[in-house]
């Protein structure tokens, strides 16, 4: 039996395997227009605030601090977590198919995701393909999030392989840059259908179409 061409393939989840849109969750609480204004408010910075929960802050703590500073957004702030399931639009089917083919071929698969510990079970319950991973490193469980170099040190310990023999797929340029500095072979994921070709060029056992 021939050895696999790589030690492991590591996937980001949100934006690569799972489509995510926070507007849908917030709009369920406060309506479309207010959700749009909330997400556009640079003084609040939803993505920066959400990142803190991904990096390990509790949702109770994150919501309370945000409501104290921005009381006029209280409904939107608390509505996101309350309706989080609405933000998970669905699986990104082309990438899931690639994941299934790699798993069937015996390629070791791992997940590395920026996701809060409290909300990740929502995805676990919904998406059965997450069971194909040998392990998923969840930033909120570790208390550190990409692109912090520490999370790639955690990844290396968890998978038991030198990162130089692994491929990492993510839709964030900052995460890709940090992963490359950590020694991973990186693929910046976009929605242009390039991933299968990029993996085939690296010798991965996938069908050509």
The pLDDT tens digits along the chain (209 residues) read: 567 789 999 999 999 999 999 999 999 999 999 999 999 999 999 999 999 999 999 999 999 999 999 999 999 999 999 999 999 999 999 999 999 999 999 999 999 999 999 999 999 999 999 999 999 999 999 999 999 999 999 999 999 999 999 999 999 999 999 999 999 999 999 988 899 999 999 999 999 97
The 3-state DSSP class for residue 85 equals helix
pTM: 0.96
The 3-state DSSP class for residue 186 equals strand
Which region, left, alpha or beta, applies to residue 162 given φ > 0 means left and ψ of -120 to 50 means alpha?
Answer: beta
Structure tokens at 86: 């609405």
Report the alpha-carbon distance of residue 154 to residue 144 in Å, rounded.
Answer: 10
- C-alpha atoms less than 13 angstroms from C-alpha of 96 in its C-beta half-sphere: 14
Tell me if 67 sits within 8 A of 44, measured CB to CB.
no
Report the alpha-carbon distance of residue 56 to residue 65 in Å, rounded.
Answer: 15
Tell me if 168 sits within 8 A of 16, measured CB to CB.
no
């Amino acid at each position: 039996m021939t050895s696999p061409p790589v030690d492991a393939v590591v996937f980001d989840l949100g934006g690569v395997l799972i489509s995510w849109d926070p507007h849908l969750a917030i709009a369920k609480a406060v309506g479309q227009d207010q959700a749009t204004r909330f997400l556009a408010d640079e003084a609040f910075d939803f993505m920066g605030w959400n990142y803190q929960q991904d990096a390990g802050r509790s949702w109770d703590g994150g919501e309370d601090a945000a409501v104290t500073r921005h009381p006029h957004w209280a409904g939107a702030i608390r509505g996101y977590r309350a309706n989080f399931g609405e933000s998970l639009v669905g699986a990104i089917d082309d990438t899931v198919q690639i994941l299934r083919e790699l798993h069937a071929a015996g390629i070791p698969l791992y997940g590395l995701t920026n996701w809060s510990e409290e909300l990740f079970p929502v995805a676990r319950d919904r998406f059965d393909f997450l069971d194909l991973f040998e392990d998923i490193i969840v930033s909120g469980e570790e208390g550190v999030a990409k692109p912090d170099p520490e999370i790639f040190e955690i990844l290396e310990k968890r998978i038991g392989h030198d990162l130089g023999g692994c491929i990492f797929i993510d839709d964030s340029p900052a995460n890709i840059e940090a992963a490359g500095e950590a020694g991973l072979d990186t693929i910046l994921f976009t929605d242009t259908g390039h991933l299968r070709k990029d993996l085939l060029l690296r010798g991965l056992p996938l069908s050509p179409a």
